[in-house]
Amino acid sequence: MTNDKTYQPLEGIKRISDMWERRMNGLLYMMSDNNEFVKLLKVGTDSHARYLELLRKRQELVAGVMNIPTKKDVAKVAKLSIQAEEKVDVLEEQIWNLQDSLVEVNKGNIEMFQEIISIVKKIRDDVKKVEINHANELSAVQLELKELKQELSQLKDIKSELENMRNLLKEEKHKDKDKDLVLAAAGTTES
């Protein structure tokens, strides 16, 4: 068997990148060790920061004139959007709680209405019973009144008959007295 090694391109790239990394680190180390380079780098960084700040201010001015949103405006909108979403979430939770409490209240109301309906039905049945009892009592009273009227009419008939009999008796007594008078008068004239 042969000891031929196959070519690995990734190994070669890795070696080259390691080599470049070591050289760049060395160069940066040498430059950062130099005070003049650090001072120059500081001056450049400060001027670059001032330039970026000036550029940002001018961008905001131009964006304001052209009515174009800036990075700050987008950040503010994003922040407001997040706050709005949080408030919507809170409101949704409150709505859900209200819905749950409304469901419970509706259940209570339904139970109460069913109870009221049963009470009303019972009252209606009781009223019907009372009306039937009153009607029965009224018909009984009416029957008694009819009987009393009949008895009263019978008593009137009896009273009128008694009156007639009294009149007849008076007439009889009156006739008897007249006969007695006539007899007494006849007896006195004969004697």
Residue-by-residue DSSP string for 69-115: --HHHHHHHHHHHHHHHHHHHHHHHHHHHHHHHHHHHHHHHHHHHHH
**From the CA atom positions of the chain, what is the Rg in Å?**
66
Q: Would you list the domain boundaries of the chain? A: 9-68
* Contact residues for 120 (Cβ-Cβ < 8 A; gap 6+): none
Element (H, E) at 56: helix 35-66
Q: How many CA atoms lie within 13 A of 37 on its CB side?
A: 8
Burial 46-77 (b: 16+ CB within 10 A, else e): eeeeeeeeeeeeeeeeeeeeeeeeeeeeeeee
Give the span between the Cα atoms of 90 and 97, in whole angstroms.
11
Record the pTM.
0.38
Which tokens belong to 110?
């339904």
CA distance 40 to 133: 118
Could you list the pLDDT tens digit for every one of the 191 residues in the chain? 456 677 788 888 999 999 999 999 988 888 777 888 788 889 999 999 999 999 989 988 888 888 888 888 889 999 999 999 999 999 999 999 999 999 998 998 999 999 999 999 999 999 999 999 998 988 989 999 999 999 889 989 998 998 998 898 888 887 777 777 666 666 655 54
DSSP state of 68: -
